[in-house]
Structure 1
């Protein structure tokens, strides 16, 4: 049976890429939420239907699933995604998906939201802060450019951001990411993974003895290279999509 960490590794990179793309779309717009209608608005020109997941209470450091929040009075049609995750957790014995209240630590609120966004068919999530906590939700109708495959030139940036911010199985992360992004991936003689996309070029990732990404190289077509250069791992996170 897969564990929570397995599911997280499977979906972290693609989810992170969608969050980066969503950030490009919403920019600095202020948000507002109509809970009864299940509508999340950004500024005066963007509106998305949402499924509510749960909330993080800062002081006790706990995650409360929306289906366990008896005082929320949220219409049930806006909690179906969280219930599906609960059912998956029951089938696979994953406590983080089935316990009404989860003590956060090794598993964080963002890890839960990232994993849910992948398990729910590749969606985006949004963290809506309030005094003393934050509410997490999935967007049901994000723009096409947010859900589009990641340009090959951005692949290294996505992977390096994820491994610099989370403890995760690097090889599983890379393998799942390449598969989800529709890249033609093959094993190299050195035990690495080479991924190619027609018209964009290729990227090759090598791993050390502990299974961590150790070297990233690649060749991009001139057109693809305009998107972003293949680059080394950052010394620290340069951008965190939940801030």
Structure 2
């Protein structure tokens, strides 16, 4: 059985890397979604992104409604498939946040839910589009690949993601490096991750919170 925190810890790092890349691509924009064709149009971009609605959040009552539960919208299966896949995962793994139609965003945010949805469905990224009184969240396809993970970028990602989300720190770190095939050596509370030609050193305290993170050149292997 997975918990919501487990899933968020697993997917936050890899998804945030793709989100930062998407933000660089989009810049300042306006948007419009065609939910009949499953397309998201963004100003300044010649081609739309393939998009599916994950859910919507409303500010007036601090609520989130999953797209699979939005039966009054008349949305077709082709634009709600990702949200239904998330629900199926929640049913299989016993994660109530993924199977409850309406949630309070003071307990779990739209970004939390979108990160998990993006990770579980293998989407390229997710998109948050504001409208009067709320926001809609979409999974996206056809986004150009994000740059290769570097050691310095991983340090920035780890510090950002641990400040942004309520995660299990070791699991979040392990998941980010595993997603990019970066070897991690664990010696008690001290970890080292090899990223390209560099090594990232990490340490965790007694409560399994990240207490130190630093960069060092990777050791040279004798010829």
Q: TM-score with structure 2 length normalisation?
A: 0.92
Counterpart position of 2:182:
183
Counterpart position of 1:235:
none
Q: Which runs of no fewer than 5 residues in structure 2 stay unpaired? A: 219-223
Q: Contact 2:5–2:166 at 8 Å: present in 1 too?
A: no
Matches within 5 A, 1:1-243: 1-45=1-45, 46-121=47-122, 123-144=124-145, 146=146, 148-188=147-187, 191-198=189-196, 200-220=197-217
Distance 2:133 2:109 in 1: 16
Distance 2:177 2:44 in 1: 36
Q: Contact 1:15–1:122 at 8 Å: present in 2 too?
A: no
Distance 1:220 1:127 in 2: 38
Distance 1:165 1:26 in 2: 21
Residue 71 of structure 1 aligns to a residue in which SS?
Answer: helix
Q: Deviations over 1:138-167 (max 9, x none)?
A: 0022112x2x44222201111111111222
Q: Deviations over 1:126-148 (max 9, x none)?
A: 0011111100000022112x2x4
What is the CA distance between 1:25 and its match in structure 2? 0.9
Counterpart position of 1:228:
none
Q: Which moved more, 1:174-183 or 1:101-110?
A: 101-110
Describe the shift of the 1:184–1:69 C-alpha distance in structure 2 as closer, same or farther (beyond 3 A).
Answer: same
Q: Which runs of no fewer than 5 residues in structure 1 stay unpaired? A: 222-243
What is the CA distance between 1:75 and its match in structure 2? 2.0
Distance 1:166 1:155 in 2: 16
Q: TM-score with structure 1 length normalisation?
A: 0.85
Q: Deviations over 1:175-201 (max 9, x none)?
A: 11111121111113x522211133x31
RMSD of aligned alpha carbons:
1.5
